[in-house]
Structure 1
Amino acid sequence: MIKIHEVQDDRQQDAYDVRFQVFVYEQNVPEEMEMDEHDETAHHFTAYHDHVPIGAGRLRFVDGVGKAERVCVLSSYRSTGTGRAIMEKMEQTAKENGAQGMKLNAQTRAVPFYNKLGYSTTSDEFDDAGIPHVEMKKTWT
């Protein structure tokens, strides 16, 4: 069973470990770009399968909306609903904190995933760490 937890302190390292595995080792994002000044204040989420960290995401609040960042799932757990579960937990947290919606910068290959979750593309394609991205948004009432 997959469980999503908002993590702090020692368990926050689990989120960082998954992010490094996916972004730095798998997708060749430069290590110095993966961690930034927002990691200290963001809400961090980790997906666990049998107490093993398998996915992660980061949530910040910008201009009244939640901003999903660093959403990733280990390759062997993709297409299991883990990414959806992470996003749903982050959206729930955003709503609980008064956000009027969510936004994110999606890798273009992940656009169909976010479309299924109700996100719409709101920008032209741009480059982030050598990977094509678009901005996407979702609002709720």
Structure 2
Amino acid sequence: MDTLQVHKATTKEELEKVFAIRKIVFVHEQGCPPELEWENEDVSTHFLALSDHQPCGACRWRKTDKGYKLERFAVLKEFRGQGVGRALIATALDDLPPDANYIYLNSQLDAMSLYAKFGFVAEGEQFEEAGIQHFRMVKKV
């Protein structure tokens, strides 16, 4: 049985693993411009998912002027469909401060159903970000 763990990435080594996963998923697979990928790192709380001690996923949250934004959810291809994304979302949500009353994210279209399981609802018009179609989704509390 695979063991799946998600924890805060705080050491330089853990953060390097987070960034490596994001580079593979966003820059190489999805063709996102690297300069768009690396922003707000120092004001974000990062998470690393491990499957049997192998880095397999990453995400982060940060406080913005609107509220709390979950972002940069990335799961390596060989680990998709194994609950890594769900574990990342649950861990990030659990980590938010108690006063986090406005929680939102920009979801790629194929991930919307996953976020919906956690109470996120699409708001507004579809838009493009880094060449990929998205919807803003807001968590209903």
Query: For the Cα contact (< 8 Å) 1:12–1:44, is it kept in 2?
Result: yes
1:33 aligns with 2:20: no
* TM-score, normalisation: structure 1: 0.92
The number of aligned residues is 138
Look up the match of 2:138.
137
Look up the match of 1:120.
121
Query: What is the 5 A alignment of 1:1-141?
Result: 1-10=3-12, 11-36=14-39, 38-63=40-65, 65-94=67-96, 96-140=97-141
* TM-score, normalisation: structure 2: 0.92
Query: For the Cα contact (< 8 Å) 2:121–2:140, is it kept in 1?
Result: no
Partner SS state of residue 81, structure 2: coil
CA distance in 2, matches of 1:97, 1:45: 19
User: How many angstroms does 1:64 deviate by?
Assistant: 6.5
User: How many angstroms does 1:63 deviate by?
Assistant: 4.1
CA distance in 2, matches of 1:64, 1:132: 21
CA distance in 2, matches of 1:79, 1:117: 17
Q: Sequence identity of aligned pairs in percent? A: 33
Query: For the Cα contact (< 8 Å) 2:22–2:74, is it kept in 1?
Result: yes
Partner SS state of residue 99, structure 2: coil
After superposition, the CA RMSD in angstroms is 1.3
CA distance in 1, matches of 2:83, 2:67: 24
User: How many angstroms does 1:97 deviate by?
Assistant: 4.7
Partner SS state of residue 125, structure 2: coil
